Amino acid sequence: MPDALSLFLELAAIPSPPGRERAVADRVVAELRGLGLELDEDDTAGTTGSEIGNLYCALPGDGNGGTPLFFCAHLDTVPPEGEIVPVVEDGIVRNSAGTILGADNKAAVVAMVEAVRRLVEDGRPHAGVELLLTPKEEVGLVGAAAFDESRLHARVGYVYDMAAPIGTVIMAAPHSRKLDFRFHGRAAHSGMYPEEGRSAIAAASRAIADFRLGRLDDETTTNVGTIRGGTARNIVPEWCGFEAEARSLDDRKLADVVEEMLEAATFAASLAECDVETELSEDYRGYRFKRDDAVVRLALAALERTGHEVRLETTGGAADANVFNERGLECLNLANGMTDIHTPNEHIAVADLDAMVDVTLALIDAAHA
């Protein structure tokens, strides 16, 4: 059985929901230390709420020039809703137990670790390689945000965190804002004195109805994800809160749609004679690359060298790459063949596991040239 597949089957079977990554981290640490490498776990667990800090490993370059690279993958998955029993059927790895597989992002972990193995065992020349494995990516890029990026010698890096065919290069990812609304009305008995009440739920509902939700254009989306409120069936609800978000590849569009949502909430509250509190926070910053940026040029060279058709695309999602780009590094997200992530049908081809090892080595070779 190929080394990449063996390791993937082992890691995938270890549950690692956000904050509970210790078991899978220990297995990866053992794998890398078995190659004689030194790993460092930072002290961010206390602030992130994870069982682990970020894992960092550096392989010094051979001193012959080139561009050092860092590779980043996250160790957590969305929470599985049952046992994870990976099986291989017709060259495809699936979970036979009816929940997620965890290819997101353990397929990336395996590709990077296996590439490092080959670097070490083959004595392959390189300009310097750093490996960073983060916790709690699935709940807001928490581990990467807590990492001290000044520890990285490389200024160019890659994540593999896009469910699409290998060869897909993510050239832009969105900015995102979180909006939290809490409406305050007045409680009253709904059967005896309803006219004395002011329904916070009615006000919140009016606001949501007035929002433009979903895909607003090819760069911008909005959503209301949760809503809660009220005290009892027979009481006019004195409070109601909901959580919303807005994303856009264009920062100006994002500012406009956020302002529109805030104004709609204020207007809805006034109509219902309620008050509304709003809290606005930045979720993460977006980025956009050009084809001639160094991180893109290396990726295109590596993908072409390994025989993959290149597709330049944008995404509406975020990855650890957002954090590093915001902090002045160049970090590109490459698709690695994952399919139907976050669902019971999540799967990945064995061939794609092996192919991403080759892509990783080709990136390292291209950077050394």
State residue 280's pLDDT score. Answer: 97
Asked if the model's pLDDT at residue 50 lies above 80, the reply is: yes
Encoding tokens for residue 135? Answer: 């916790």
State residue 276's pLDDT score. Answer: 98
**Does the domain made of 175-284 have the CATH classification 2.40.50.140?**
no
pLDDT of 29-39, one tens digit each?
A: 999 999 999 99
Q: What is the mean pLDDT of residues 54-81?
A: 96
d(CA 88, CA 99): 15
What is the distance of C-alpha 27 from the center of its chain? 22
Is the distance from CB of 68 to CB of 127 less than 8 angstroms?
Answer: yes
State residue 1's pLDDT score. Answer: 40
State residue 8's pLDDT score. Answer: 98
Asked if the model's pLDDT at residue 6 lies above 60, the reply is: yes
Residues catalogued as catalytic: 76, 137
State residue 2's pLDDT score. Answer: 52
Task: Look at residues 136, 106, 156 and name the one whose alpha carbon lies nearest to residue 366.
Answer: 156
pLDDT of 294-345, one tens digit each?
A: 999 999 999 999 999 999 999 999 999 999 999 999 999 999 999 999 999 9
**Does the domain made of 3-173+286-368 have the CATH classification 3.40.630.10?**
yes
pLDDT of 94-148, one tens digit each?
A: 999 999 999 999 999 999 999 999 999 999 999 999 999 999 999 999 999 999 9
369 band by pLDDT with thresholds 50, 70 and 90: confident
Strand, coil or helix: what is 342?
Answer: coil
Q: What is the mean pLDDT of residues 205-212?
A: 98
- Tell me the pTM: 0.92
State residue 126's pLDDT score. Answer: 97
State residue 3's pLDDT score. Answer: 86
Task: Look at residues 321, 255, 259 and name the one whose alpha carbon lies nearest to residue 286.
Answer: 321
Query: Structural domain boundaries of the chain?
Result: 3-173+286-368, 175-284
Asked if the model's pLDDT at residue 204 lies above 80, the reply is: yes
State residue 329's pLDDT score. Answer: 98
Q: Which helix (H) or strand (E) holds 41?
A: strand 39-41
State residue 89's pLDDT score. Answer: 96
pLDDT of 264-303, one tens digit each?
A: 999 999 999 999 999 999 999 999 999 999 999 999 999 9
